[in-house]
Copies of this chain bind each other. A is one copy, B any other.
Amino acid sequence: MVPSPDSRPPLRVAVLGCGVVGTEVVRLLTTQADDLAARVGAHLDLVGVAVRDVDVERDPVVDRALLTADGTALVEKADVVVEVMGGIEPARSLLLHAIEHGASVVTANKALLAQHGPTLYAAADEAGVDLYFEAAVAGAIPIVRPVRESLAGDHVRRVLGIVNGTTNYVLDRMTSEGLDLDQAVKEAQALGYAEADPTADVEGYDAAAKAAILASLAFHTRVSLDDVHREGITAVTADDVEWAARTGHVIKLLAIAERGEDADGTAGVLVRVHPALLPQAHPLAGVRGAFNAVFVEAESAGELMFYGRGAGGVPTASAVLGDVVSVARHRVLGGRGPVESSYADLPVLPTAVARTRYQVRLEVADRPGVLAQVAAELASRGVSIEAVRQSPSVEGAPARGDASAVAHLVITTHTAPDASLRATVDAVAGLDVVRSVVSVLRVEGI
């Protein structure tokens, strides 16, 4: 049974970083102290909060006497270290120092894990302490624990995630309000959903770090940030969004990790982040605003989805506290959480071999026989067509049959390797009846 919290010495908790998330972690540790003690079986004693500048004005929930600029000294006197400072250094060094001193660690730092996960795992394993990081992927949504533990008896085939709330908000506003990308980004900035420099979000870096972590967990294979094929949303236009809707889709920035094989039949893992068309009926299509969701396809479990707030200080702090309770319980009752599972050690394959579908929008000459010519080009390359829509591209354009008349052709393919689809688009672009390739987007979720 869980011992009475009063029957043993308290566990010493150190918090590294006191930004939005850190402040909420301190608030929960303080206001929920009795509940946490009941759940852990020991009191949690906040022994310090490491910050860069102890003199900055802060939320009054943070006792100034706990602030210190000496993170190294702080982690040496803690049983549990919570890292919510972000960035690579000094977070990495402080966590390694904490682990070497026997502390269990909880981090919300996706960039650190995506780049130095194996080093941290190895250190925690060596020291026999826990390394938990639920908050690093999709904020408050419990996804790390289900993938690491609940699906431990199953085989994951694919993970599709909306794991960046900023870009989901932007694409959602483009869809629902017809905004263009710049307008939607400005709105997101005004609401605090996007940073002044939105690069990490709109270029997909944030999503790519989370994709690397999810792929590592789902496929028992080390996947680092550099392994992730990444395309942001900056090329997505209001026109793309409108055409997506006309063909029964929505555009989402997806993090995709899946099993696949290369041309030789070698099994491996494919990991990519890019904007994609999703059928409107797909469970992820309904994920609105700044929400996140992760859709998992497993051999036995079938389709699962996890939905919730992917960012924000308060939701992220909830995930951090869940981890704190887990690692603290292990210190009271014994035991260890999951360690790195990389036994499958699959190769990370290039996106070129990923089987996907394209929707290509073309401006073509508006005369009979054009579609036949384009279709023949696709067929000659083994790419079959799922749907075609043709319409005059411009109101008041020259009438059909006029040599300068232009039609808009939207072609959705069946599944084929990404490289074949890419080569086919290049070949189609070279046809003399094709004026321009307006846009190329992958179609996922089938």
Nearest CB on B from A27, distance (A): 9
Instruction: Given A145-B149, A305-B307, A318-B301, answer yes or no on A335-B330 (Cβ-Cβ < 8 Å).
Output: yes
Q: Cβ of A160 < 8 Å from any Cβ of B? A: no
- Cross-chain contact B283 with A300 (CB below 8 angstroms): no
Instruction: Given A325-B152, A336-B333, answer yes or no on A300-B140 (Cβ-Cβ < 8 Å).
Output: yes
Cα distance, A36 to B336, chains bound together (Å): 18
Write out the residue numbers on chain B whose beta carbons fall within 8 Å of the beta carbon of A298: 140, 318
Cα distance, A140 to B433, chains bound together (Å): 52
- Cross-chain contact B305 with A154 (CB below 8 angstroms): no
- Cross-chain contact A154 with B336 (CB below 8 angstroms): no
Question: Smallest CB-CB separation from A313: which chain B residue?
Answer: B300
- Cross-chain contact B152 with A341 (CB below 8 angstroms): no
Identical copies in the complex: 2
Write out the residue numbers on chain B whose beta carbons fall within 8 Å of the beta carbon of A324: 153
Instruction: Given A283-B286, A304-B308, answer yes or no on A155-B35 (Cβ-Cβ < 8 Å).
Output: yes
Cα distance, A247 to B336, chains bound together (Å): 52
Nearest CB on B from A328, distance (A): 10
Write out the residue numbers on chain B whose beta carbons fall within 8 Å of the beta carbon of A220: 38
- Cross-chain contact A302 with B306 (CB below 8 angstroms): no
Which of A1, A303, A323 has the most chain B CB atoms closer than 10 A to its own CB? A1
Question: Smallest CB-CB separation from A336: which chain B residue?
Answer: B333
Nearest CB on B from A438, distance (A): 32
Q: Say which residue of B2, B145, B321, B326 sits within 8 Å of A300 (CB atoms).
A: B321
Cα distance, A283 to B283, chains bound together (Å): 9
- Cross-chain contact A142 with B140 (CB below 8 angstroms): no
**How many A residues have CB within 8 A of the partner chain?**
62
Nearest CB on B from A349, distance (A): 20
Which of A125, A153, A306, A320 has the most chain B CB atoms closer than 10 A to its own CB? A153
- Cross-chain contact B301 with A309 (CB below 8 angstroms): yes
Q: Say which residue of B1, B39, B305, B322 sits within 8 Å of A308 (CB atoms).
A: B305
Q: Cβ of A141 < 8 Å from any Cβ of B? A: yes
Question: Smallest CB-CB separation from A333: which chain B residue?
Answer: B336
- Cross-chain contact B300 with A315 (CB below 8 angstroms): yes
- Cross-chain contact B142 with A304 (CB below 8 angstroms): yes
- Cross-chain contact B322 with A153 (CB below 8 angstroms): yes
Q: Which chain A residues have a beta carbon within 8 Å of chain B's beta carbons?
A: 1-2, 24, 28, 32, 35-36, 38-39, 125, 134, 140-142, 145-146, 149-155, 220, 283, 286, 293, 298-309, 312, 314-315, 317-326, 329-330, 333-336, 338-339, 341, 343
Q: A28-B154, A283-B286 given. 8 additional CB < 8 A pairs?
A: A24-B300, A36-B153, A142-B146, A152-B326, A301-B309, A302-B308, A330-B335, A334-B335
A-B contact pairs, 9 of them (CB 8 A): A28-B153, A141-B304, A142-B146, A151-B322, A152-B322, A154-B322, A300-B321, A302-B312, A305-B307
